[in-house]
Amino acid sequence: MRYNIEGGSLPIVEVNLDPNETIVTQGGGMIWMSPNLKMETSSGGLGKAFSKMFSGESIFQNRYTAMGGPGFITLASSFPGSILKFDISPNAPMVVQKSGFLASSAGVELSIFFNRKFGAGFFGGEGFIMQKLSGQGIAFVEIDGYCKQYTLGPGQQLIVDTGNLAAMDATCSMDIQKVPGVKNMLLGGEGLFNTVVTGPGRVFLQSHPISTVAAAIRPFIATN
């Protein structure tokens, strides 16, 4: 599987498939492809469908296979930002934001990732449920806005505003904590909770999560 990511802040990824090679995509991601790609739609079973529903993905995914020779498929991000490629292996799974999965090779498994501290995660909103990419292969993930990467050492922490955590190595851990002080919580304009990421591992942050952009433009949209 060979690929090319282009398009700047409105990115696409073009993936070239060898004969009989398969790519798994989120529904609605395909924008054009060669005519010899065979599409099959599947939920992957009841358990996987339930997991996808809670992690923000469509219950159904599409599998495209190159038939009778090589083929290609082009996928687009659903929001201005970036498309990142991750190498997934049994020793290097990734945790990504819900609805972040765009596509992967057939050996990558998508499952739900819960914050370990259920109560804190629930009240933390966006930080509660994320997706885990495991198995073997490559995966393409959507990032909202500009992406900034940090590499944390063991025990090193980073405080992130809710929704700005796009992805992290599964070696990292995350927790949701309240903003200290009642005055800060009510008047600071930063919400009630922050996400705390603890290393070791890579952390990928996004500058403009779609939920934040939607909240910013909502007052300017006519309701009548």
2-217 folds as Double-stranded beta-helix (3.60.160)
Mean of pLDDT values over 31-54:
73
The pLDDT of 99-123, averaged and rounded, is: 76
Q: What is the pLDDT of residue 2?
A: 95
Distance between alpha carbon 184 and the CA centroid of its chain, in Å? 30
**Does the pLDDT at position 118 exceed 80?**
no
Q: Spell out the domain ranges in the chain.
A: 2-217
pLDDT tens per residue across span 127-185: 467 899 999 999 999 999 999 999 999 999 999 987 899 999 999 998 888 766 544 44
Strand order through the sheet with 157-161 = 157-161, 193-198, 173-178
Which neighbouring-strand residues pair with 90? none
**pLDDT tens for each residue of 149-161:** 999 999 999 999 8
- For the cut 50, the answer to whether the pLDDT of residue 203 exceeds it is yes
CB 209 within 8 A of CB 163: yes
